[in-house]
Structure 1
């Protein structure tokens, strides 16, 4: 295989389909959309990830809304093709053998991008090592280091075993894969050893790192501290073995204050670093001021997220939109009546699924707000309920409301679990006044239904902690306007009253600037009561026009086709 000029895209998680349980949320869904657009565009890309044979988890909610977790085991052999080559590495001094499985992502023109899943569940491996690729984001610190070593070190070795030689760029989708830098540096040192006429040291030096840097790209996805993995030198020494004393001279470079910070490792050794929205690039520059931080705003794969009724309308009125996402700007030529008609079809599908899953009958003519994302405190899923009496009053005066919620909390995130439980309490308080459903086990297929079927997409993060937030982009593909804090992508996508609405003013927030909860809640209530609900109920023609502009202005731009063309020009082949 000719491995030259390939982009090797390393990601801890990837969302390819509902049946492949190797994603937890936005990071993985973005990776899946990226690969689909890479296939559409014919980019020479190969993807490396972990198998996660027991998935992230299946969410179960009891009557009180308390979350418990079950393994999400999936039929690997039915979905993936086992590959013949193996490679080896060391974990804690033990020899570890890796197997690869392949999934081909086919683009609109028939071009395929291979996704390589690394698997440690082999009889030759020690019992504890066989479980390394079981759970996504599971286990303790040791488990996490082992996984990141397999992804970074094992991933580079597996690509070589599969014949991907002399790769042009290694793109790290978040810092989980940053140990690939050590493996590449070690490989350059080994080559120098092999080629030297006189005996030379096998020690990795700064010169070797300088050879690595032009090959690496790093995309950071969050300013939230929990998203930046840190390990003590002792933990790293214990787990990442196999290099001997090769890195002894540079340990102080990799591990200042005896801590290996995976984000700093990637930042220091990548020639191109970017955040995932303009605002996030600015916030990341505040966090890491000594580095040059760029920004490429995320997108979504439009053909994946357009609901069937919407896609059929696009096929009829905007032929070629799958190959040319920019052509969605011609949605302005579609009548508002037709936009509304296909939206109602999508809404009816969602209402049917809600009835099937919960027994609750939502009304097709009632204004429906959707909120679905990872249940983390900073995303403030309960901001809408800051003043329940006010919310009920708005629904009583301005027209009925119904709410569709979904989202998982990380198994170890107790505040996130409490947030879900609190929303279930609120559901009981609102009974008979506002219908609220919380759908269990949020995943790709449910996301497709909600982002297409609600009338308004709500997003209420604490600024500036929302790096991008692609769920609102999925809604835009389906003509669903966003109502959001001006953070992440919405700081770019919001044209007030045209593509949707902002919650509060653009604060251009600075990290550590403090909670804005009460202020944001009041801004939310005021605009919902005075602007959005009256327009939906009394001026449906105007509301349909906002829906149409969501497609024409936002879906035509905030997509992974545009995103990848920017990566090509700025990073991949520059």
Structure 2
């Protein structure tokens, strides 16, 4: 029977709102994990025929293109793009009130189509409309650009403008799903449409939080709120549901949603501690299996596990595929990555060396440089068996500490130039991510606990038989079986250590496991490494995919 929820939802749509959505490199409307997850959500909804419509901003000038000089100093260039080359401009226009101005909004329509016949329409909101002031025309220019006034304008356009645009386009909406708090002002619009009855609005709203730290939740001073939203009654509603001192978008969404979830089991517990008194469920993230599986493994799975792309649970039967064919698929993916590295750099990396990958947003808590903390111990690991390291990632333009991490990696590259091959690849994007998660041998993740809400790059790696080596945080707590699906780094969950004690424990564990377990196994006990490759696919990828995630959203939140 076809896996479809279309009939169950009686033709109504789930409206999925996200500030960023990552669909493809040519549409630079994503900054990182949140947007890429949104893209995977949409792809799975399309595959499963879930009646979703997505709403986001057009981000005419993108996030940014990263350039790095010889010292690793990052500069940013705009990524201007023309939506008319890929999308259809809709005739309908709506407006929102910002200060005393009516700001016009137009929409671009893009269809995310599936080979299953499913299709999710995506509505890109755009204020670059004739009749708007130059300032207002720029509201939808930069993803996460500017200071608080710019961000709040964007959130007014996304939340309030998004609801109005869906109505203008004729969509009948059953539920509104807020992917993070950026779109929470949609609940303000729904209150106005439902007699200011919070019970009715709660029945319509779903809120997914991705932020495990207090500072990560958007908060706006009421002086700014009152300047941009001049209606006193509306501001009173924001104070009532969004906090008396400052307008907290996440709190507003929490108070006006009947279903709230974190993105892993641990994250839901952490969020419940951040917001005591609220019921916060857990739906663990997943990744779109077909998108993040290399062409070499796709061909293999198509041959031995037909139907796997729309039923990733079939990956549990990986044991039926001969080891030599699995190794060949991995080898080809690794060769493609190493060739790309050597084309971009003068690193001269080779195919035989154990290759370790680290790629994600460059920010302090993700600790890209943890593995480089003790170079003598790293040299010792390399003498035990050669290793090579590939880094990539962007630092937010205002994150000076994140930019320093990149410079620190470049400094280490120079220090170890004739000993260990290390590269940092410029301008990390979805295409490079796909090559990295499939082409390395070992995927490294070293966040400070408990700041990793989920993380999804390790799930992508697992789809390609790449073994995870990670701090026990986020999704890895659920995917980890020591020595079976990969390895943990540092203290176990029940251990409560000081920050410095935890760091020392992590460093010891990281270097010791590389030296005594991982490197010897890779070079000397390939049969054991094959088991880890198989288990990564059959015990991790089969579960940590967005098809499973979306079925959970349907049964727990959408119905």
TM over 0.5: yes
Structure 1 residues 249 and 90: alpha-carbon distance in aligned structure 2, compared to 1, 3 A threshold: closer
| Distance across 2 between alignment mates of 1:67 and 1:272 | 40
DSSP-derived class of the 1:246 partner: helix
Contact 2:229/2:235 (<8 A) preserved: no
Structure 1 residues 510 and 82: alpha-carbon distance in aligned structure 2, compared to 1, 3 A threshold: farther
Aligned to 2:87: 80
1:38-62 Cα distance to aligned partner (Å, 9 max, x none): 0000001000000001000000001
Q: Comparing 453-462 with 359-368, which one deviates more in the overlay?
A: 359-368
The reply to whether residue 230 of structure 1 matches residue 237 of structure 2 is: no
| Distance across 2 between alignment mates of 1:251 and 1:511 | 40
Aligned to 1:112: 119
Contact 1:336/1:545 (<8 A) preserved: no
1:83-134 Cα distance to aligned partner (Å, 9 max, x none): 1111111111101110000110112311110010000001110110000000
Aligned to 1:188: 194
Alignment TM-score, normalising by the size of structure 2: 0.96
Report the Cα offset of residue 247 of structure 1.
Answer: 3.0
Aligned to 1:216: 205
Contact 1:464/1:511 (<8 A) preserved: no
Structure 1 residues 509 and 271: alpha-carbon distance in aligned structure 2, compared to 1, 3 A threshold: farther
Aligned to 2:552: 566
Structure 1 residues 251 and 222: alpha-carbon distance in aligned structure 2, compared to 1, 3 A threshold: closer
Report the Cα offset of residue 248 of structure 1.
Answer: 5.8
DSSP-derived class of the 1:516 partner: helix
Structure 1 residues 27 and 515: alpha-carbon distance in aligned structure 2, compared to 1, 3 A threshold: farther
Q: How does 1:18-37 map to 2 (within 5 A)?
A: 18-37=25-44
Q: Comparing 261-270 with 219-228, which one deviates more in the overlay?
A: 219-228
Contact 1:35/1:105 (<8 A) preserved: yes
1:496-531 Cα distance to aligned partner (Å, 9 max, x none): 111111112322588997772222111101111111
The reply to whether residue 331 of structure 1 matches residue 318 of structure 2 is: yes
Aligned to 1:139: 146
Structure 1 residues 23 and 510: alpha-carbon distance in aligned structure 2, compared to 1, 3 A threshold: farther
Contact 1:174/1:220 (<8 A) preserved: yes
| Distance across 2 between alignment mates of 1:505 and 1:277 | 19
| Distance across 1 between alignment mates of 2:207 and 2:396 | 25
| Distance across 1 between alignment mates of 2:106 and 2:498 | 44
Q: Comparing 332-341 with 144-153, which one deviates more in the overlay?
A: 332-341
Report the Cα offset of residue 339 of structure 1.
Answer: 1.1
Aligned to 2:21: 14
Aligned to 2:247: 260
| Distance across 2 between alignment mates of 1:451 and 1:246 | 50
| Distance across 2 between alignment mates of 1:171 and 1:512 | 38
Report the Cα offset of residue 359 of structure 1.
Answer: 2.6
Contact 1:369/1:456 (<8 A) preserved: yes
Aligned to 1:199: none
Unaligned runs of 5+ in 2: 1-8
Contact 2:392/2:424 (<8 A) preserved: yes
1:357-413 Cα distance to aligned partner (Å, 9 max, x none): 1132211000000000000100000000111111011111x2101000000000000
Aligned to 1:290: 277
Contact 1:462/1:515 (<8 A) preserved: no
Aligned length: 551
Aligned to 1:159: 166
Structure 1 residues 568 and 512: alpha-carbon distance in aligned structure 2, compared to 1, 3 A threshold: farther
Aligned to 1:195: none
Contact 2:389/2:423 (<8 A) preserved: yes
Structure 1 residues 347 and 260: alpha-carbon distance in aligned structure 2, compared to 1, 3 A threshold: same
Aligned to 1:102: 109
| Distance across 2 between alignment mates of 1:320 and 1:462 | 38
- Equivalent of residue 134 in structure 2, options 109, 127, 131: 127
Report the Cα offset of residue 288 of structure 1.
Answer: 1.1
Where do 4+ consecutive residues of structure 1 move more than 4 Å? 508-515
Report the Cα offset of residue 255 of structure 1.
Answer: 4.6
Q: Comparing 67-76 with 362-371, which one deviates more in the overlay?
A: 67-76
Contact 2:464/2:537 (<8 A) preserved: yes
Structure 1 residues 4 and 185: alpha-carbon distance in aligned structure 2, compared to 1, 3 A threshold: farther
| Distance across 2 between alignment mates of 1:210 and 1:258 | 24
Q: Quote the RMSD (CA, aligned, Å).
A: 1.6
| Distance across 2 between alignment mates of 1:554 and 1:89 | 45
Contact 1:83/1:101 (<8 A) preserved: yes
Contact 2:362/2:393 (<8 A) preserved: yes
1:182-201 Cα distance to aligned partner (Å, 9 max, x none): 01001123xxxxxxxxxxxx
Report the Cα offset of residue 254 of structure 1.
Answer: 3.1
The reply to whether residue 356 of structure 1 matches residue 356 of structure 2 is: no
The reply to whether residue 47 of structure 1 matches residue 33 of structure 2 is: no
1:223-259 Cα distance to aligned partner (Å, 9 max, x none): 1334210001111111124xx3433654541353431
The reply to whether residue 442 of structure 1 matches residue 428 of structure 2 is: yes
Aligned to 1:201: none
